[in-house]
Chains A and B, each alone.
Chain A
Amino acid sequence: MMLSKAETAGSAATEQSAPGRAATADETLVRLDGVSRYFGREAAVNRIDVDIRQGEVFALLGASGCGKSTTLRMIAGLEPLDEGRITMGGRVLADAGTRKSLAPEKRNIAIVFQSYAVWPHMTVAQNVAFPLRMRRVPRSERRARVEKVLKITGMDAWADKSATSLSGGQQQRVALARALVYEPDLLLLDEPLSNLDAQLRTQMRREIRRLNQELGVTMLFVTHDQDEAFTVADRVGVMAGGRLEQVGTPTEMYDHPATPYVRDFLGRTLSLEGTLTWSGSEGSIELPDVAGGRVTPLHDSGLANLDGERVRMFFRPEDVEIVPATQALAPNQVPATIVADEYLGDHFEYRVEVGGSTGVLDAPRRTGYQVGDTVVLQVDPAHVSVWPA
Chain B
Amino acid sequence: MTLTTSPPPVIEAPSPEAPPPPRRSRIGLRSFRGVPVVLLVAVLTAVPVVLLLINSFNVSRPGEPSHYGLDNWRKAFDDPQLTTAVWNTLRLGITRTLIATVIATALSVLIARTDMPGRRIVEVSLWFAFFIPPLSMTLGWIVLLDPSNGVLNTTLRSWFGITGHHGPFNIYSFWGIILAHISSSTVPLMTILIVPSLRRMSSGLEEAARSCGAGRFRTILFVTLPLARPAILGAALLSFIYSLKTFEIEYLLGNPIGFKVFSTQIYDWIYRDPPLYGIATALGMLIIPVMVLLAIGQRLLVRDRTFVTVGSRGFSDVPMALGPVRRWMVAGFAYLYVLLIIGLPAGALIVGSFMRRFGFFHIPHPFTTSNWTNLIHDNLFATSAMNSLKIGIGATVLGVVIYFAIAYVIVRSKLRGRGTIDVLAWLPVALPGILLGLGLLWLYLGTPLRTVLYGSVTGLILAIVINHLATGTQQMKAGIVQISPEHDQAARTCGARPLRSLWHVMLPLIGPSIAAVAVLTFDTAIRDISSVVLLTSGNSRPLSVLLLEYSSTSELEEAAALGVIMAAVTVIVGLVATALAGGRLQRNGARARRRPGRSQSTQPTGPAAAS
Contact = CB atoms under 8 A, between A and B. Distances in A.
Nearest to B608: A82
B223 A119 contact: yes
Given A110-B212, A111-B211, A134-B218, A36 B314 contact: no
A169 interface: no
B604 interface: yes
B605 A38 contact: yes
A103 interface: yes
Interface stretch (A71-79, A274-282, A290-298, A349-357): A71-79
B311 interface: yes
A374 interface: no
Given A76-B211, A134-B213, A38 B315 contact: no
A39 B603 CA distance: 8
A175 B207 CA distance: 13
Contacts of A222: none
Interface stretch (A6-14, A41-49, A305-313, A378-386): A41-49
A145 to B, nearest CB: 13
A366 interface: no
Given A36-B608, A39-B597, A120-B307, A111 B229 contact: no
B74 interface: no
Interface string B574-608: 00000000000000000000010110110011111
Contact of A178 (B212, B597, B606): B212
B310 A103 contact: no
B209 interface: yes
B605 A103 contact: no
A39 B227 contact: no
Given A38-B607, A134-B218, A117 B311 contact: yes
Contacts of B604: 37-39, 80, 82
A121 B307 contact: yes
A105 B321 CA distance: 13
Contacts of A131: 212-213
A40 B597 contact: yes
Contact of B313 (A105, A111, A114, A182): A114
Nearest to B228: A121
Interface centre among B205, B209, B211, B601 (most CB of A within 10 A): B211
A314 B162 CA distance: 93
Given A117-B311, A119-B223, A110 B597 contact: no
A44 B600 CA distance: 12
Nearest to A126: B222
Interface in B192-223: 202, 204-205, 207-215, 218, 222-223
Contacts of A109: 211
A115 B606 contact: no
A107 interface: yes
B122 to A, nearest CB: 24
B306 interface: yes
Interface string A116-156: 11111110000000110011000000000000000000000
A103 B222 CA distance: 18
A331 interface: no
Contacts of A43: 606
Given A42-B597, A120-B227, A130-B222, A110 B211 contact: yes
B29 interface: no
B609 interface: yes
Interface residues of A, number: 49
A116 B311 contact: yes
B226 interface: yes
A78 B210 contact: yes
A135 B312 CA distance: 29
B206 to A, nearest CB: 8
B292 interface: no
B207 A117 contact: yes
A83 interface: yes
Interface in A13-50: 36-44
B606 A120 contact: no
A359 interface: no
B243 to A, nearest CB: 28
B605 A78 contact: no
Contact of A113 (B222, B223, B314, B606): B314
B318 interface: yes
Nearest to A78: B207
A164 B311 CA distance: 10
B311 A39 contact: no
B491 to A, nearest CB: 34
A41 to B, nearest CB: 6
Contacts of A191: 314
A195 interface: yes
A96 interface: yes
Nearest to B310: A120
Contacts of B312: 115
A44 B597 contact: yes
A120 B209 contact: no
A271 B321 CA distance: 50
Given A111-B208, A113-B208, A41 B307 contact: no
A113 B607 CA distance: 29
B212 A103 contact: no
Contacts of B226: 119, 121-122
Contact of A119 (B205, B595, B606, B607): B205
B605 A40 contact: yes
B211 A105 contact: yes
Contacts of A241: none
A131 B214 CA distance: 7
Nearest to A134: B213
A248 interface: no
A182 B213 contact: yes
Contacts of A135: 213
Interface string B304-345: 001100111111001001000000000000000000000000
Interface string A263-293: 0000000000000000000000000000000
7 contacts: A42-B597, A103-B215, A105-B213, A115-B315, A121-B227, A121-B307, A131-B213
Given A82-B607, A120-B306, A164-B307, 4 more contacts: A36-B606, A105-B210, A115-B202, A191-B314
Interface of A: 36-44, 65, 76-80, 82-83, 96, 103-111, 113-122, 130-131, 134-135, 163-164, 175, 178-179, 182, 191, 195
Which 3 residue pairs spanning A and B have beta carbons closest together?
Answer: A38-B606, A115-B314, A39-B597
